[in-house]
Structure 1
Amino acid sequence: MTINNHGEELILDKERAIFFPKHGLLAISDLHLGKSAHFRKAGVPVPSTIAQSDLNRLGVLIEKYHPKTLLINGDMFHHSLNSDIDDFYKWRNDYKELNFLLVKGNHDKLALADYAAMRIEIHEPSFCIGPFCFIHDAPKCTEEELYPISGHVHPGVTMVGKAKQKLKFPCFYFGKDYAVMPAFSGFTGLYNIKPAPTEEVFAITKESVFKV
């Protein structure tokens, strides 16, 4: 789905990403690579294919939009180095010409040398481009005239059907003062938001993105 926000065209993709054509920028949030391996190490039976599935989805998006830059809006890695992050090392080599930017989130605690080895450019606390300012965990940024785009909360919206059944979907949220991106990883929960009438929410299904 294509929308206009602050004078720019934004493409909201059902794979929980936003493409900014003017800047050649593909943005996602909350990739949480390493989370499944972290749980497995703690004895929780989590499938070992989660990280690979998320990387495959991301690869499809890169082939679809051919961005110059991939921006991860926080929580790219979940705590420490592990087997899931080893998979990323290998995957990263398929996109050597692509610029990778990371706006650090609360889970991004690897050493700077580790990010450098993966050719990931670090920005903290925000990265601003055009009228937008990406920041992970707060609806504010260092440039007051810019529109903040955050992540962190894993937003979802609940819809009630004709038979009063309730369905919850991940979503994009665009308020007056800031926006919130959905979590990219399939291994995350959802925080239910209740938008005001003046706020825009776009629900995400396996087939499409639609305005609520």
Structure 2
Amino acid sequence: MTINCKGESLVLDKDRAIYWESKKMLIISDLHMGKAAHFRKAGIQVPATVTETDLEKLGRLISKYSPEILLVTGDMFHSDMNTEVQVFSTWRASFPDLRIILIKGNHDLLSNDDYGDLSIEICPRELLSFPFRFVHDQPKVFDEYYNITGHIHPGITIYGKARQQIKLPCFYFGSTCAILPAFSLFTGLSKIKAEEGDQFYAITPEKVVAV
């Protein structure tokens, strides 16, 4: 699904990404690589294929859109260095010409040297590219920039007949801020309190739909 946001064409992809056509930029949030290994280290049984599945999906998106830039609006990595970071390093070598920019989130704890070794550029707080400000969490003060964020893993509940309901990840666009869905499947969903004029785009297995 393609929408117009502040005069810019944005493609909302069912694989939980935005493609900003005029900038050749693929935008995702909350990849949380290393989360599964972090849980296994704590004795919690989590499939070892979570990171590989997410990276395969990301590779398909890169092949689909051929972006020049991959922008991650926070929580690319879930914790400090572990085996899944090495899995990413191998994956990264397949896209040597892709520029990767990370706006650090609360879980991004690797050292600057580690990011450098992975060919990842770091923005400690935000990235401004008019008309958008890319930042991990919603700012409290607003200006002429429209904010595109992540962090809270938005979801929406769809109700059907006979009390049927299903909870789906979604893209959220409010008056001052958009929130991306968590890219990783290994995350929960948070309900957003809607205000008048807000737009929700639910992600189904087949497509993105306005609700």
Bucket of the pairwise TM-score, normalised by the shorter protein? over 0.9
Partner of 1:144: 143
Query: After the TM superposition, which segments of 4 or more aligned residues of structure 1 sit over 6 Å from their partners?
Result: none
Deviation at 1:130, TM superposition (A): 2.5
Deviation at 1:140, TM superposition (A): 5.1
User: Matches of 2:160 and 2:203 in 1, distance apart?
Assistant: 16
Q: Secondary structure at the match of 1:18?
A: strand
Q: Does 1:96 align with 2:96?
A: yes
**How many correspondences in the alignment?**
211
Partner of 1:56: 56
User: Matches of 1:35 and 1:184 in 2, distance apart?
Assistant: 13
What percentage of residue pairs aligned between the two structures are identical?
Answer: 51
1:43-93 alpha-carbon deviations (Å, 9 max, x no partner)? 111000000000000000000000000000000001111111110000000
Partner of 2:44: 44
Q: 1:139 to 1:205 in 2, by over 3 A?
A: farther
Q: Does 1:174 align with 2:169?
A: no
User: Matches of 1:56 and 1:198 in 2, distance apart?
Assistant: 36
State how 1:74-85 maps to structure 2 within 5 Å.
Answer: 74-85=74-85
Maintained 8 Å contact 1:139/1:149: no
Q: Secondary structure at the match of 1:26?
A: strand
Partner of 1:18: 18
User: Matches of 1:165 and 1:102 in 2, distance apart?
Assistant: 39
Deviation at 1:197, TM superposition (A): 3.5
Partner of 2:115: 115
State the TM-score, normalizing by the size of structure 1. 0.97
Maintained 8 Å contact 2:138/2:177: no
User: Matches of 1:188 and 1:74 in 2, distance apart?
Assistant: 14
Deviation at 1:199, TM superposition (A): 0.5
User: Gapped runs of 5+ residues in structure 1?
Assistant: none
Q: Does 1:156 align with 2:155?
A: yes
User: Matches of 2:140 and 2:202 in 1, distance apart?
Assistant: 23
Partner of 2:126: 126
User: Matches of 2:61 and 2:15 in 1, distance apart?
Assistant: 8
User: Matches of 1:206 and 1:34 in 2, distance apart?
Assistant: 25
CA RMSD, aligned part only? 1.1
Deviation at 1:138, TM superposition (A): 2.0
Maintained 8 Å contact 1:157/1:194: no
